[in-house]
A and B are shown apart, each in its own frame.
Chain A
Amino acid sequence: MQINQINPGTAFHRSPNRIIATLFGAVYVLVGLLGFFWVNGVPFAGPGDGSNAILGIFEVNPLHNIAHLLIGSALLIAGAGTAASARAANSTVGALYLLLGIVGFFLTAPDGGRSPVNFLSLNVPDHILHLASALLLLATGLGADHGATRDREQPEPAAQHV
């Protein structure tokens, strides 16, 4: 029997965590792939000259793109699993993004963001995106699917169906 049939709370359309994890995972994987079209001549882990901005808004470099791909993949995998796994992934990635949202300001402060310290080639729109992602992922991870735990999502023993 399908797990989702036993516990309706884990069904994709009934779990905000699975919806958000899948949506954000897909977007971050897409952004990670698209980003490689904007990193010509940009250092692997250093700031660009401003021409390395996706759609002219979000600056990236190859390391930044790889981070997007890894985070997006993790969220996609978690979203394809159970509500509990999506919840854990959303909370963890949300906390990491919150940290990056704050640390990012320290990285971009020296020399207007053109210092080598800015190893992810961040800019202000990046900060907004990271903080918005952090708040959304944290709010969903901490605030939704409260009943979703690994134990509750285990298939019921066959004996209970007899």
Chain B
Amino acid sequence: MRTWPGLAAIGAGLIHLGSSVGASPVALTPLFLLGVAEVLWGVLALSRTAPPAASGAAAGTAVALVGTVVGLLLPPAAARHGVPVTLGVPPVAFAVGGVLDLALGVLLTVHLLRGRIESRPPRPLRFVLEVGGAAAVVAVLVTQALAATSVGGGSMPMQMH
């Protein structure tokens, strides 16, 4: 479980970086900066025994979640009022990035509430199984989200070339 926050952060970062490529100018910079921060924090979290700057990371995750909700709801809400707003990011990318950020936020909150870390590292086989499962889930989610972005050619999820 110690590696889950890092994997979730890297996954969300990859989606936000990929989404920034085809995004409108107003969304490009925030998405790119968020993606870079998430990937760097994720790598740092994997190399530490406890999530680094957990309070700040939790706050950053909350801000990212608010941005995700705004990004998901703004275009349809604006269209209903006759104002076309295009962010250039497919909803599935926003949604999957938001799910990973939500998972990250929950894990960080649990960590902060517990106020301690596991003193003993998990058994090697348990570590391998836990990391393998988490990596597989994150990889499937990230691939499906990126496949819908312009980086992935806007292809349908799970398209077999």
Q: Do A and B bind each other?
A: yes
Interface residues of A, Cβ cutoff 8 Å to B = 13-16, 19-20, 23, 47, 50, 53, 57, 59, 98, 101-102, 105-106, 108-110, 112-114, 122-125, 127-129, 131-136, 138-140, 142-144, 146
B97, CB-defined interface residue at 8 Å: no
Chain A positions within 8 Å of B132 at CB level = 136
Q: Which residue in chain B gives the minimum CB-CB distance to A109?
A: B153
- Taking a contact as CB atoms under 8 Å apart, the answer to whether A132 and B135 are in contact is yes
Q: Which 4 A-B pairs have the closest CB atoms?
A: A132-B139, A109-B153, A135-B135, A113-B161
- Taking a contact as CB atoms under 8 Å apart, the answer to whether B139 and A124 are in contact is no
Set B46, B134, B151: member contacting A105, Cβ < 8 A: B151
For the residues of B in contact with A, the DSSP-based class is: helix
- Taking a contact as CB atoms under 8 Å apart, the answer to whether A124 and B147 are in contact is yes
Chain A positions within 8 Å of B157 at CB level = 124
- Taking a contact as CB atoms under 8 Å apart, the answer to whether B128 and A16 are in contact is yes
Alpha-carbon separation in the docked complex, A106 to B152 (Å):
7
Q: Known contacts being A14-B124, A19-B125, A105-B152, is A140 close to B140, with CB within 8 Å?
A: no
Q: Known contacts being A132-B136, A139-B131, is A15 close to B46, with CB within 8 Å?
A: no
B119, CB-defined interface residue at 8 Å: no
Q: Known contacts being A15-B124, A102-B14, A139-B135, is A124 close to B161, with CB within 8 Å?
A: yes
- Taking a contact as CB atoms under 8 Å apart, the answer to whether B46 and A139 are in contact is yes
Q: Which residue in chain B gives the minimum CB-CB distance to A128?
A: B143
- Taking a contact as CB atoms under 8 Å apart, the answer to whether A135 and B43 are in contact is no
Set B121, B143, B146, B161: member contacting A59, Cβ < 8 A: B161
Alpha-carbon separation in the docked complex, A123 to B158 (Å):
9
- Taking a contact as CB atoms under 8 Å apart, the answer to whether B160 and A110 are in contact is no
Q: How many residues of B contact A (CB 8 A)?
A: 40
For the residues of A in contact with B, the DSSP-based class is: helix
- Taking a contact as CB atoms under 8 Å apart, the answer to whether B161 and A123 are in contact is yes
Given contacts A136-B131, A139-B131, A144-B121, 6 further A-B contacts (CB under 8 A): A19-B128, A105-B147, A112-B155, A135-B7, A136-B132, A144-B127
- Taking a contact as CB atoms under 8 Å apart, the answer to whether A110 and B153 are in contact is yes
Set A16, A23, A50: member contacting B161, Cβ < 8 A: A50
Chain B positions within 8 Å of A124 at CB level = 143, 147, 155, 157-161
Alpha-carbon separation in the docked complex, A20 to B130 (Å):
12
Set A53, A122, A125, A135: member contacting B138, Cβ < 8 A: A135
Alpha-carbon separation in the docked complex, A136 to B7 (Å):
9
- Taking a contact as CB atoms under 8 Å apart, the answer to whether B18 and A140 are in contact is no
Q: Which residue in chain A gives the minimum CB-CB distance to B154?
A: A109
User: What are 6 inter-chain pairs, A to B, with CB distance below 8 A?
Assistant: A108-B161, A132-B139, A133-B135, A140-B131, A143-B2, A143-B127
Alpha-carbon separation in the docked complex, A19 to B43 (Å):
21
- Taking a contact as CB atoms under 8 Å apart, the answer to whether A142 and B128 are in contact is no
- Of B11, B18, B121, B128, the most chain A CB neighbours within 10 A belong to B128
Alpha-carbon separation in the docked complex, A110 to B154 (Å):
11
B93, CB-defined interface residue at 8 Å: no
- Taking a contact as CB atoms under 8 Å apart, the answer to whether A102 and B18 are in contact is yes
B55, CB-defined interface residue at 8 Å: no
